[in-house]
Amino acid sequence: MTDLLFRTDAYLREAAATVVAADEAGIVLDRTPFYPRAGGQPGDTGRIRWDGGEVVITDTIKDPERGAIHVVAAGAHLPPPGTGIVSILDWERRLRHMRMHTTLHLLCSAMPGIYATGNQIGAEKSRLDFDLPEPPAKEWFTERLNELIAGDHEVGERWITEAELDANPGLVRTLSVQPPRGTGRVRLVRIGPEEAPVDLQPCGGTHVRRTSEIGRVEVTKMESKGRQNRRIHIVLAGDTP
């Protein structure tokens, strides 16, 4: 299985690796900083470069047996197995995903006791759906989110066993995306101090180190998607810090 380097360093922009397989599905490496599409977060894009060649990566997806597959355009020249390469992220796109993803966690914290029913992270805009019959105005969400961002809260993580998660089901804040399982342990992403977190929930995605890195955000629209389901749209309103 591919060693997913972003799990220990989400700020790693490139890494040396060896090609394990290369076929019409894409390129499999022994290690990668690329995030494979999951949990509403898009797969990373970028480039893979080797001595005498380079290929553009248009997406990264999961494979249950091989790990991360780096998708290339049809007909692209592929490096053969055993080739030493350097994988290079489209860093600006990834960073925007990280800022957006952390923002969605903050949005969850602004609605304690309310479950998310769907989400989609994007570089330009993102959305989060809530089981919420009468939500506050979008201006309230914008103000609350920017207060939390300005608090410059540290973003950290810790791991618990799957049994510990089963014993604390309230940690799961979404009805649509369940935490990654199968390894015996689950990663918790924490915003704020351990003793009094702003938000704490299972998550396999990538995040910024501090909320101040997000910059200003704005809730641009709220939609009704059913009797109680409300969709909240968010954009990054400020320049990258």
Query: Residue 241: which of 221, 217, 206 has the closest Cα?
Result: 217
d(CA 126, CA 119): 8
The pLDDT score that the predictor gives to residue 181 is 65
Burial annotation 124-145 (CB, 10 A radius, 16+ → b, else e): eebbbbbebeebeebeebbebb
d(CA 94, CA 44): 7
CATH of domain 94-236: 3.30.980.10
The string of DSSP codes covering 183-230 is SSEEEEEEES-TTS-SEEEE--S---SBGGGS--EEEEEEEE-SSSEE
Query: Residue 127: which of 100, 154, 153, 150 has the closest Cα?
Result: 100
Q: Residue 192 half-sphere exposure, CB side, CA atoms within 13 Å?
A: 14
d(CA 114, CA 170): 11
The pLDDT score that the predictor gives to residue 180 is 67
Domain positions in the chain are 3-89, 94-236
Phi, psi of 95 (to 5 degrees): -60, -40
Q: How far is CA 220 from CA 123, 127, 140, 223, 229, in A?
A: 15, 10, 12, 10, 17
The pLDDT score that the predictor gives to residue 30 is 97
**Rg (alpha carbons) of the chain, rounded to whole number:** 19
- Divide the 241 residues of the chain into consecutive groups of 10 and give the mean pLDDT of each group: 94 98 96 95 98 96 92 94 98 98 95 86 94 88 97 95 86 71 84 94 95 97 85 85 44
E strands in 64-147: 67-71, 84-89, 116-120, 125-131
CATH of domain 3-89: 2.40.30.130
Query: Residue 27: which of 75, 79, 74, 90 has the closest Cα?
Result: 79
Phi, psi of 25 (to 5 degrees): -75, -30
Contact 88/46 with Cβ under 8 angstroms? yes
Domain 3-89 identical in fold to domain 94-236: no
